Amino acid sequence: MELNVNKLKAELKKTLPGISAQYEMAPVSRPKFDIENLPEDQYRPSAVMILFCKDEYDNLFIPLIERMAYNGTHSAQISFPGGKYEMADENLQNTAIRECYEEIGLRYEIEIIGKLTRLFIPVSSFLVEPYVGVCKIKNPLIVPHEREVKSVLKLSLSQLLDDTIIEEGVVQASEFKIKTPYFLVEGHKIWGATAMMLNELKAVLKAIS
């Protein structure tokens, strides 16, 4: 499946699908938040990189990371490369690129083409800016961070656009069980904020298809 980067770039400048698309994949119990009026002391600025890459056969994919198990809120979850803003970052776009480099080894190969709607993650207080980029080289060498990343999952564009991979059930989050929709990809359940952002991206892609 081909991706028209110019059309996607133009679509990302329009009014985005926003929370209506995001909340189609939200956990059942998740409340809605007024992001524009969140007090600064109640969130941590952060960013993720949604990166379109091509493999050696020209198949499009988005790299997702499976985080290592640890004593924390996002232990062993599937997510985009990303993390919190640091003082050395020029801006949140720089945060997304830096984290992408730290977690999967890609930096100079990235061209930013836009971003999706910000999303608040209450369990960690992250206010996430999702940047969309394309990899400027074919079949990039992905190097997972040896301490933070257990594996890299390559979500193909055709998989993302396939409605049959969406299921609903119970997932384990730390000591809690949560009822939620999720994308089932190669045995992995992609849920929560990552699924919500993916669903908005899916809506944008369908608008240009």
Share above pLDDT 70 across residues of the chain, in percent, rounded to a whole number: 97
pLDDT of 73 reads 54
Q: Is 105 within the bounds of a domain?
A: yes
Q: Is 170 within the bounds of a domain?
A: no
- Could you read off the pLDDT of 26-51 as tens digits, one per residue? 999 999 998 888 888 899 999 999 99
Domain around 9: 5-29+40-164+192-208
pLDDT of 176 reads 81
- Could you read off the pLDDT of 64-110 as tens digits, one per residue? 999 987 665 546 789 999 999 999 999 999 999 999 999 999 999 99
Structural domain count, the chain: 1
pLDDT of 75 reads 60
Q: Is 134 within the bounds of a domain?
A: yes
Model pTM score? 0.95
- Could you read off the pLDDT of 98-128 as tens digits, one per residue? 999 999 999 999 999 999 999 999 989 999 9
* CATH classification at residue 105: 3.90.79.10
* Tokens read off for 34: 């007024």
pLDDT of 173 reads 77
Closest by Cα among 150, 113, 154 to 135: 113
* Contact call for residues 199 and 111 (beta carbons, < 8 A): no
Q: Is 158 within the bounds of a domain?
A: yes
Q: Is 98 within the bounds of a domain?
A: yes
Q: Is 137 within the bounds of a domain?
A: yes
SS (H, E, C) the chain: CCCCHHHHHHHHCCCCCCHHHHHHHCCCCCCCCCHHHCCHHHCEEEEEEEEEEECCCCCEEEEEEEECCCCCCCCCCEECCEEECCCCCCCHHHHHHHHHHHHHCCCCCEEEEEECCCEEECCCCEEEEEEEEEECCCCCCCCCCCCCEEEEEEEEHHHHCCHHHEEEEEEEECCEEEEEEEEEECCEEECHHHHHHHHHHHHHHHHHC
pLDDT of 156 reads 97
Q: Is 108 within the bounds of a domain?
A: yes
